[in-house]
Amino acid sequence: MDQPLIAALEALLSRQSVGAKHLAEPGPGDADLRRMADAALRAPDHAGLVPFRFAVVRGAARDRLAQLFEQAGREAGKDDAEARIDAERAQRAPVTVAVIARIDLGHKLVPSHEQWACVGGALTNFLNAAHALGFGGKMLSGAKVRHLAVQQAFCGPGETLVGWIALGTPVKSPSRAGEKPSASDVLQDWT
């Protein structure tokens, strides 16, 4: 196998999720984010159907996200201290990117499950590009994704907030949470 292909495969196999508490400045700049978005656009697209978009949260917008997280926490029954922790979590990563799905339920050629597969491929490509550019990142979701005020803040009609990607420079190597499955766990012959 040719050396550039081996290097590309090794980079892909070495990617691990890095949580926001292990990320620091600098975060990706505009050129880096454009490269990540370009990689996301290489996901299966079914002849130009792009059922996703990304919304970058940085600068003063991080304060608004923190407010939304705190509001969601309070409405979920958390006390003041727990709600403030939720707000602080929204500001841990230097850059946060909202992943928003735009699924066309009535598309004649591309059923919704294929569009969702494209959203997943785009997310994966985005994270792989971040890793290749030297940044750490992790996909975040949870109850806040479903909170009405959060959905309304990020989504237009027909859109669904999938979650967020926390991005920044890793301050330490991520630890493995447990034994990861092997290829033989997920790859079998169909008979």
Per DSSP, 22 falls in state: G
Q: What is the CATH number of the domain that holds 24?
A: 3.40.109.10
Low-confidence spans in the chain with pLDDT less than 50: none
Question: Residue 30 domain-assigned?
Answer: yes
CA dist., res. 78 & res. 66, Å (int): 15
In this prediction, residue 43 carries a pLDDT of 84
Tell me the per-residue pLDDT of 76-131, one tens digit each, with 9 for 90 and over.
889 989 889 888 888 888 999 999 999 988 888 888 899 999 999 999 999 999 99
The amino acid that residue 111 corresponds to is P
Question: Residue 140 domain-assigned?
Answer: yes
Question: Residue 32 domain-assigned?
Answer: yes
The answer to whether residues 127 and 39 touch, using CB atoms and an 8 Å cutoff, is no
- The count of structural domains within the chain is 1
Question: Residue 143 domain-assigned?
Answer: yes
How many Cα atoms occupy the beta-carbon half-sphere of 9 within 13 Å? Answer: 6
The model's pTM is: 0.85
Question: Residue 7 domain-assigned?
Answer: no
CA dist., res. 37 & res. 51, Å (int): 13
Cis peptide before 26 (omega within 30 of 0): yes
CA dist., res. 56 & res. 44, Å (int): 22
Question: Residue 163 domain-assigned?
Answer: yes
Non-local (6+) Cβ contacts of 115 within 8 A are: 46, 49, 51, 101, 103, 104, 107
The whole domain housing 168 covers 18-59+95-172
Non-local (6+) Cβ contacts of 14 within 8 A are: 131
CA dist., res. 113 & res. 76, Å (int): 30
CA dist., res. 110 & res. 122, Å (int): 16
Question: Residue 90 domain-assigned?
Answer: no
- The dihedral region occupied by 46, where left means phi > 0, alpha psi between -120 and 50, and beta the remainder, is left
Task: Write the CA distances from 62 to 135, 151, 181, 187, integer angstroms.
Answer: 19, 16, 35, 41
Question: Residue 8 domain-assigned?
Answer: no
